[in-house]
Structure 1
Amino acid sequence: MKRRTAWILVAGVAAVAVGAAAVGGLALALRGRGAGWSANNYLYLDLQGEISEEPPSSDLGTIFERQPPSLRTLVESLERAADDPRVSAAVLRVSILPDSGWATVQELRDAVGRFRRSGKPAYAHLEFCGNKEYYLASGCDKIYAIPSALIELTGLRSEVSFFKGTLDKVGIQAQFEGVGKYKNAPNQFTETGFTEPHREQMDALLDSLYGQFVSAIAQGRRRTPEDIRAAIDAGPYDGSSALRAGLVDELVYQDQLDTRLKGASRLTPGRYVKGSRGFGLDSRPKIALVYVVGDIIPGRSQGSPLGGGFAGSDTVAEALKDAREDGAIRAVILRVDSPGGSGTASEVIWREVGLARQKKPVVVSMGDVAASGGYYVGMGSDAIVAEPGTITGSIGVFGGKFSLHGLYDKIGISKEILLRGRRADLFSTYRPWSDDERVRMRELMESFYRDFVTKVAQGRHRSYEDIDALAQGRVWTGAEAQRNGLVDRLGGFAVALDLAKEKAKIGKG
Structure 2
Amino acid sequence: MKQFFKFVLASIVGFIVVGVIMICVVIGLIASAASDKDVTVDDNSILNISFKTAIPERTPNNPLSSLPFLGLGDDKSVGLNDILASIKKAKTDDHIKGIFLTDSYMMGGQATTEEIRNALIDFKKSKKFIIAYSEIYTQGFYYLASVADKVYINPKGIFEFRGMSSQVTFFKGALDKLGIEAQIIKVGTYKSAVEPFFLEKMSDANRLQVTAYLGSLYNQFLTCVSTSRHLSKDSLYSMANNLTIHYPADALQYKLVDGLKYKDEVLSELKKLTNTDFKKDLSSITLAEYAKDNDGKTTDDGNKSSGDQIAMIYASGEITGGDGDDNTIGSDKISAALRKVRLDDNVKAVVLRVNSPGGSSLASDVIWREVSLTKQVKPVIVSMGDYAASGGYYIACAADSIIAEPNTITGSIGIFAILPNMQKFLNGKLGITFDGVKTGKYADLGDATRPLTPEERAILQDEVNRGYGDFTNAVAKGRNKTQAYINSIGQGRVWTGEQAIKIGLVDRLGSINDAIASAAKKAKITDYKVVGYPEQKSLFKSFGSDIQSRVSTHFAKAELGESYQYYEQLKGIKQMMRTPQARLPFLTEVK
Match of 1:219 among 227, 235, 238: 227
Question: Deviation of residue 376 (structure 1)?
Answer: 0.6
Task: Give the Cα separation in 2 of the matches to 1:62 and 1:484.
Answer: 47
What letter matches 2:267 in structure 1? D
Superposed counterparts of 1:333-412, under 5 Å: 333-408=351-426, 409-412=428-431
1:5 is aligned to none
User: Does the C-alpha gap of structure 1 residues 216 and 166 become closer, same or farther in structure 2, counting only changes over 3 Å?
Assistant: same
Contact kept? 1:94, 1:137, Cα under 8 Å: no
Question: Deviation of residue 461 (structure 1)?
Answer: 0.9
Answering whether residue 519 of structure 2 is matched by residue 500 of structure 1, we say: yes
Q: Given the two structures, how large is their TM-score scaled by the length of structure 1?
A: 0.87
Question: Deviation of residue 65 (structure 1)?
Answer: 11
Q: Cα deviation per residue 1:215-237 (whole Å; 9 max; x = unaligned)?
A: 11111110001111122132553
1:286 is aligned to 309
Q: 3-state DSSP class of the match of 1:378? A: coil
Q: 3-state DSSP class of the match of 1:193? A: coil
Task: Give the Cα separation in 2 of the matches to 1:379 and 1:278.
Answer: 28
After TM superposition, the structure 1 stretch with the greater mean CA deviation from structure 2, 388-397 or 232-241, is 232-241
1:445 is aligned to 464
Task: Give the Cα separation in 2 of the matches to 1:183 and 1:66.
Answer: 34
Answering whether residue 53 of structure 2 is matched by residue 49 of structure 1, we say: yes
Task: Give the Cα separation in 1 of the matches to 2:122 and 2:304.
Answer: 28
Task: Give the Cα separation in 2 of the matches to 1:319 and 1:434.
Answer: 42
2:180 is aligned to 172
Q: Cα deviation per residue 1:164-191 (whole Å; 9 max; x = unaligned)?
A: 2332222111111111111111111111
Task: Give the Cα separation in 2 of the matches to 1:383 and 1:150.
Answer: 42
User: Does the C-alpha gap of structure 1 residues 177 and 115 become closer, same or farther in structure 2, counting only changes over 3 Å?
Assistant: same
Contact kept? 1:243, 1:249, Cα under 8 Å: yes
Task: Give the Cα separation in 2 of the matches to 1:165 and 1:347.
Answer: 34
Superposed counterparts of 1:189-208, under 5 Å: 189-208=197-216
Superposed counterparts of 1:225-374, under 5 Å: 225-232=233-240, 233-261=242-270, 262=274, 263=276, 265-275=283-293, 277=295, 282-283=305-306, 285-302=308-325, 309-374=327-392
Answering whether residue 481 of structure 2 is matched by residue 481 of structure 1, we say: no
Question: Deviation of residue 122 (structure 1)?
Answer: 1.6
1:16 is aligned to none
Task: Give the Cα separation in 1 of the matches to 2:433 and 2:376.
Answer: 56
Q: Cα deviation per residue 1:368-400 (whole Å; 9 max; x = unaligned)?
A: 111111111111011111111111111110112
Question: Deviation of residue 106 (structure 1)?
Answer: 0.9
Contact kept? 2:39, 2:290, Cα under 8 Å: no
Q: Given the two structures, how large is their TM-score scaled by the length of structure 2?
A: 0.76
Task: Give the Cα separation in 1 of the matches to 2:318 and 2:153.
Answer: 38
Query: What is the aligned residue count?
Result: 471
Larger proportion of helix: 2
Match of 1:142 among 142, 150, 165: 150
What letter matches 1:177 in structure 2? I
User: Does the C-alpha gap of structure 1 residues 96 and 62 become closer, same or farther in structure 2, counting only changes over 3 Å?
Assistant: closer
Q: 3-state DSSP class of the match of 2:56? A: coil
User: Does the C-alpha gap of structure 1 residues 147 and 62 become closer, same or farther in structure 2, counting only changes over 3 Å?
Assistant: closer
Question: Deviation of residue 278 (structure 1)?
Answer: 9.1
Task: Give the Cα separation in 1 of the matches to 2:484 and 2:216.
Answer: 25
Contact kept? 2:244, 2:250, Cα under 8 Å: no
Question: Deviation of residue 276 (structure 1)?
Answer: 5.2
Question: Deviation of residue 433 (structure 1)?
Answer: 0.9
Q: 3-state DSSP class of the match of 1:231? A: helix
Contact kept? 2:305, 2:527, Cα under 8 Å: no
Structure 2 unmatched runs, 5+: 1-37, 68-72, 277-281, 298-302, 529-591
Structure 1 unmatched runs, 5+: 1-33, 304-308
User: Does the C-alpha gap of structure 1 residues 213 and 231 become closer, same or farther in structure 2, counting only changes over 3 Å?
Assistant: same
Task: Give the Cα separation in 1 of the matches to 2:360 and 2:294.
Answer: 40
Task: Give the Cα separation in 1 of the matches to 2:57 and 2:266.
Answer: 30
Task: Give the Cα separation in 1 of the matches to 2:40 and 2:212.
Answer: 52
Question: Deviation of residue 410 (structure 1)?
Answer: 1.8
1:115 is aligned to 123
After TM superposition, the structure 1 stretch with the greater mean CA deviation from structure 2, 51-60 or 101-110, is 51-60
- Root-mean-square deviation (Å): 2.4
Q: Cα deviation per residue 1:189-244 (whole Å; 9 max; x = unaligned)?
A: 11122222111111111111111111111111100011111221325533223212
Q: Cα deviation per residue 1:345-366 (whole Å; 9 max; x = unaligned)?
A: 1111111111222222111111
1:90 is aligned to 99
Contact kept? 1:78, 1:112, Cα under 8 Å: yes
Contact kept? 2:62, 2:75, Cα under 8 Å: no
What letter matches 2:389 in structure 1? A
Larger radius of gyration: 2
Q: 3-state DSSP class of the match of 2:329? A: strand
Task: Give the Cα separation in 1 of the matches to 2:97 and 2:54.
Answer: 27
1:80 is aligned to 89
Task: Give the Cα separation in 2 of the matches to 1:506 and 1:210.
Answer: 38
Task: Give the Cα separation in 2 of the matches to 1:235 and 1:399.
Answer: 45
After TM superposition, the structure 1 stretch with the greater mean CA deviation from structure 2, 420-429 or 60-69, is 60-69
Task: Give the Cα separation in 2 of the matches to 1:68 and 1:80.
Answer: 19
Identity of aligned residues (%): 38
Contact kept? 2:135, 2:153, Cα under 8 Å: yes
Task: Give the Cα separation in 1 of the matches to 2:137 and 2:268.
Answer: 24
Q: 3-state DSSP class of the match of 2:105? A: coil
1:156 is aligned to 164
Match of 1:455 among 474, 480, 489: 474
What letter matches 1:447 in structure 2? R
What letter matches 1:56 in structure 2? P
Contact kept? 1:95, 1:127, Cα under 8 Å: no
